[in-house]
Amino acid sequence: MGYKRKKSESELEPEIENDRKKPMMRKEEKEKEILPSTIKNKEKRSEVHAKLKHQKKLEKRKKAKARDAAEKRALELGEEPPPKMVPRTIENTREFDETVCKPDDEELFAGNDADEFGAILKRERTPKVLITTCRFNSSRGPAFISELLSVIPNAHYYKRGTYDLKKIVEYANNKDFTSLIVVHTNRREPDALLIIGLPEGPTAHFKLSKLVLRKDIKNHGNPTNHKPELVLNNFTTRLGHRIGRLIQSLFPQDPNFRGRRVVTFHNQRDFIFFRHHRYIFDSKESKQTDSKGKEAKDAKGEKASQERVITRLQECGPRFTLKLTSLQHGTFDSKGGEFEWVHKPEMDTSRRRFFL
């Protein structure tokens, strides 16, 4: 019969220690594996979530400290600092588009001189805008139009009545209007904008959403009659450039900077966000201190103070979002019109594909 030798105490000690460590390791591994969403108990769930959040915060702080130390070391040694990490976003990972405008694109600049907006943008014509509604108006429509009138200088509102849109275009041409804006409403809410360049077009149809009127904006300001400064942001493609010039043709090209008014059209992922602000300059007194950190005093023995000017923005409203649905050659023609661009559902093949 085989005989098994009994292990001595010195040989058994490491095994006993390992057996003690195993439950501890299992417990830590379980805590790492457990997701807060799988825990039914609310208190335990919030406790695990707080732990995970704290761990992530510590890791982030550790990485930031290591990055700062590496930069400092590189500067001391006279080397180039390591490149900064750029976060991956949908915008900077967008699909390649051949129509993205380049600064040295001669064809684009030549087209700018010959397009429909050239006369206004060269200040040969003054923008004059006619604003009207669809045939069935709503309660919020007039309030939105009155705010549009305060945003766009030299804009005039005419009631639609029973007139056909082609007759309105003809009337606007005869009265030397440069643009026509039609506010479409559905279920008592403005839901679309039609912008027509006159006399030769083009016609852009936008879906309008997330409308917030001035009275609903907290701490809003009241705009003045000064001509606003226009900011167009992120219109990078040929189509985006064309839409940008159409929007630009609604506003005068000689803004009154003294009025401190700013109108912004910011394009992000083909959604055009509209904002209307005014600059506010506040003067604030700050105490002067000497080299020892004590309060400095002037010749009369009084506490010296310095005036600082703080700039901030105050929103005037309204606030809304536009999404281009179609761009048509010439003025509005629903039957025989030729479209430059039409958005179709099958075009949305990827979240990273943008057209403006």
Nearest Cα neighbor of 277 from 259, 303, 289 is: 259
Tracing tokens 């509209």 back to the chain, one arrives at 274
Task: Report DSSP letters for 299-349, one per residue.
Answer: TTSPBPEEEEEEEEEEE-S-EEEEEEEEEESSS--TTTPPEEEE--GGG--
Residue type, 343: H
For residue 277, the model assigns a pLDDT of 93
| CA 348 to mean position of chain CA atoms | 21
Task: Report DSSP letters for 177-238, one per residue.
Answer: -SEEEEEEEETTEEEEEEEEETTT--EEEEEEEEEE-GGGSTT-----SSPPEEEEE---BH
CA dihedral 257, 242, 175, 230 (to 10 degrees): -10
| CA 227 to mean position of chain CA atoms | 23
> How many residues belong to the chain?
356
For residue 112, the model assigns a pLDDT of 81
Query: What gap in Å lies between CA 193 and CA 208, rounded to an integer?
Result: 6
For residue 332, the model assigns a pLDDT of 84
Structure token pair of residue 32: 């790492």
Residue type, 157: Y
What are the helix (H) ranges across 204-332?
238-248
Query: What gap in Å lies between CA 155 and CA 282, rounded to an integer?
Result: 32
Q: Is 159:110 a contact under the CB 8 Å cutoff?
A: no
- Residues with Cβ < 8 Å from 195, sequence gap 6 or more? 179, 180, 181, 203, 204, 206, 246, 247, 250
Greatest CA separation for the chain: 119
For residue 9, the model assigns a pLDDT of 53
Give backbone dihedrals phi and psi of 223, rounded to 5 degrees, phi first. -75, 155
Per-residue pLDDT of the chain (356 residues; tens, 9 = 90+): 455 555 555 555 555 555 555 555 555 555 556 788 888 888 988 998 999 999 999 999 999 899 888 888 888 888 888 888 788 888 888 888 888 888 888 888 888 877 888 888 888 999 999 999 887 767 788 889 999 999 999 999 998 888 899 999 999 999 999 999 999 988 888 999 999 998 888 999 999 999 999 999 998 888 888 899 999 999 999 999 999 999 999 999 998 888 889 999 999 999 999 999 998 888 777 666 655 556 666 656 666 567 788 888 899 989 999 999 999 998 888 777 789 999 998 988 888 899 98
Residue type, 344: K
For residue 6, the model assigns a pLDDT of 54
For residue 21, the model assigns a pLDDT of 53
Question: What Cα–Cα distance (Å) separates residue 125 from each residue in 61, 72, 252, 320?
Answer: 57, 57, 9, 28
Q: Is 259:226 a contact under the CB 8 Å cutoff?
A: yes
For residue 23, the model assigns a pLDDT of 54
- Residues with Cβ < 8 Å from 34, sequence gap 6 or more? 48
Query: What gap in Å lies between CA 221 and CA 313, rounded to an integer?
Result: 10
CA atoms within 13 A on the CB side of 296: 12
Query: What gap in Å lies between CA 279 and CA 258, rounded to an integer?
Result: 10
For residue 19, the model assigns a pLDDT of 59
